[in-house]
């Protein structure tokens, strides 16, 4: 059984068909790419997968469970986490507290416990601090744990956003153009990080990206979108050499 199965997914905004009859199957542990020109519908699909939008048609199955149309927080609890093209961190919180924010789904305590500082509060806080530091060490950010998130360099902010997403213990990690705004050295470092996350955490990753070197270097399979419809899909090398893809996207 595939980890993610999307069938006949579609959404309309007024009279505009933004995504039409979209199908996607991703196996456990796969690193899959979703590419296409601006306006092709890539981020709209991410928004459908994460409950930001409700689909007009079709359904989404995650690990055998139907998550179609569920709220974002419910989908996250089912095991889907994401990052954003424009980094979304809690800028006034520390690096450590940003990661801890992702841990609260799995380390809950009541408001009363927090206010009264009952024993469970200290136990849970200790567990979250330890787990957050483990994740920061994975990304080489443990020395910056007490920094404000806004004070990190751009590349480290990207890593922090991925670390926070992993703190929710997802089955599927969605990365929305993680290399946006990065220089070539940062992009190379990011490629290593994404591979490491997949291998170390046995993570399934769906990646939106414009950087073709990154896509061809790490993705095993690809889907190419154009105007909300699938233009090509399959093994990365075959897709990138497809004349339709070259004409519609790579040859722009």
**Do 252 and 174 fall into the same domain?**
yes
Q: Is residue 131 domain-shared with residue 200, that is, in the same domain?
A: no
Residues 102 and 224 in one domain: no
Per-residue pLDDT, 128: 84
User: Which residue range(s) make up the domain with 134?
Assistant: 89-169
What is residue 117's predicted lDDT score, i.e. its pLDDT? 55
Whether 42 maps to a domain, the answer reads yes
pLDDT number for residue 112:
47
Residues 252 and 175 in one domain: yes
The total number of structural domains in the chain stands at 2
Q: Identify the pLDDT of residue 121.
A: 60
Residues 121 and 8 in one domain: no
Residue 152 pLDDT: 96
Average confidence (pLDDT) per 10 residues, the chain, 252 residues: 94 89 95 88 94 95 96 94 93 94 68 53 77 93 96 93 94 94 87 92 92 85 89 91 75 50
pLDDT of 39: 81
Q: Give yes or no: residues 62 and 184 share one domain.
A: yes
Residue 160 in domain: yes
Residues 72 and 175 in one domain: yes
CA dihedral over 8, 49, 12, 240, signed as positive or negative: negative
Q: Supply the CATH number for residue 17's domain.
A: 3.40.50.300
pLDDT value at residue 183 = 87
Q: Is the pTM of this model over 0.85?
A: yes
Does residue 18 fall inside a structural domain?
Answer: yes
Residue 84 lies in a domain: no
């Amino acid at each position: 059984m595939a980890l993610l199965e999307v069938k006949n997914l579609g959404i309309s905004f007024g009279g505009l068909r933004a995504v039409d009859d979209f199908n996607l199957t991703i196996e456990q542990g796969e690193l899959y790419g979703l590419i296409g020109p601006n306006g092709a519908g890539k981020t709209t699909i991410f928004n459908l997968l994460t409950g930001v939008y409700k689909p007009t048609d079709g359904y989404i199955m995650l690990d055998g469970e139907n998550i179609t149309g569920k709220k974002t927080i419910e989908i996250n609890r089912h095991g889907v986490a994401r990052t954003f093209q424009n980094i979304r961190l809690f800028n006034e919180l520390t690096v450590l507290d940003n990661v801890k924010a992702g841990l609260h789904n799995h380390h809950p305590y009541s408001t009363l416990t927090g206010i009264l500082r009952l024993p469970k509060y200290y136990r849970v806080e200790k567990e979250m601090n330890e787990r957050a530091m483990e994740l920061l060490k994975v990304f080489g950010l443990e020395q910056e744990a007490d920094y404000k998130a806004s004070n990190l360099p751009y590349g480290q902010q990207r890593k922090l956003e991925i670390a926070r997403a992993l703190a929710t213990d997802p089955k599927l990690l969605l990365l929305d153009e993680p290399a946006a705004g990065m220089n070539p050295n940062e992009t190379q470092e990011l490629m290593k990080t994404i591979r490491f996350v997949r291998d170390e955490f046995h993570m399934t990753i769906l990646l939106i990206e414009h950087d073709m070197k990154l896509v061809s270097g790490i993705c095993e399979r690809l889907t190419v979108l154009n105007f909300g419809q699938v233009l090509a899909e399959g093994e990365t090398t075959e897709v990138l050499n497809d004349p339709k893809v070259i004409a519609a996207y790579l040859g722009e």
